[in-house]
């Protein structure tokens, strides 16, 4: 029995370690795209920007999207092994899953169009008709993921380091708490798919709103 418990603890630790490593790759590149590359593109000339899109961006996106996959899969295994069902971890899991889907269903498909267009222009052709729209949609989804990243990490960590209502099993949480918290997340994601960047357009704006969203969600869980 002790050996079985040791094996389970070791598996849980290795999964957590792999989850953190993959998450560092994924979220680190998310911040690179939003805080560094995007700001550089505002100042770069057309030739430099085209070169980055054709050569650097595809490589960075490879690590970005597969980092998201391994973060998501190891996270699912962690929940199963450790039987995590608290309100806090479920909020984090929900936001992480949305972010993962944004990567594979919006950001990567739209960025492929942008990259193909840049290569076509570099070869002497015309830009693809949908390239500008694809870039805008990818940018909105990426900004939404950046907005979600701070509260997602906060609620993930809460599973081990915070007590109180945030540790309440999700099946025991009040209907009001579930409706308001997950409803707010859903509305923000709908804006990330169909809306505009608005107050999260700038780097300062998305950082400030990320911390504000963290505080709002935490207070909702604690008070409802």
- Cβ partners under 8 Å of residue 176, min gap 6: 224
- SS3 of residue 86 by DSSP: strand
C-alpha to C-alpha distance for 31 and 136, rounded to whole angstroms:
17
C-alpha to C-alpha distance for 197 and 205, rounded to whole angstroms:
10
Tokens of 153: 């990490």
Q: Give the pLDDT of residue 3.
A: 44
Q: Give the pLDDT of residue 8.
A: 59
122, 189 Cβ separation under 8 angstroms: no
Residues of the chain with pLDDT under 50: 1-6
Provide the 8-state DSSP code for 55. I
For the chain, the domains span: 2-223
């Amino acid at each position: 029995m002790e050996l079985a418990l040791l094996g389970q603890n070791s598996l849980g630790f290795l999964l957590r370690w792999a989850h953190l490593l993959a998450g560092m790759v994924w979220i680190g590149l998310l911040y690179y795209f939003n805080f560094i590359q995007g700001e550089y593109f505002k100042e770069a000339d057309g030739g430099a920007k085209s070169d980055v899109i054709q050569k650097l961006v595809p490589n960075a996106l490879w690590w970005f999207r597969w980092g998201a996959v391994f973060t998501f899969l190891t996270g699912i295994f962690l929940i199963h092994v450790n039987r995590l069902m608290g309100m806090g971890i479920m909020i984090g899991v929900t936001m992480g899953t949305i972010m993962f889907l944004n990567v594979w269903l919006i950001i990567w498909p739209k960025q492929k169009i942008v990259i193909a267009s840049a290569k076509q222009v570099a070869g002497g052709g015309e830009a693809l008709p949908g390239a500008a729209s694809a870039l805008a949609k990818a940018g909105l989804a990426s900004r939404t993921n950046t907005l979600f990243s701070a509260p997602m990490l906060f609620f993930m960590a809460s599973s081990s380091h915070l007590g109180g209502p945030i540790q309440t099993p999700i099946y025991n949480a009040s209907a009001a708490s579930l409706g308001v918290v997950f409803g707010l997340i859903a509305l923000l994601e709908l804006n990330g798919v169909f809306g505009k960047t608005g107050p999260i357009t700038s780097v300062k704006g998305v950082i400030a709103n990320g911390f504000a969203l963290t505080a709002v969600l935490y207070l909702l869980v604690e008070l409802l």
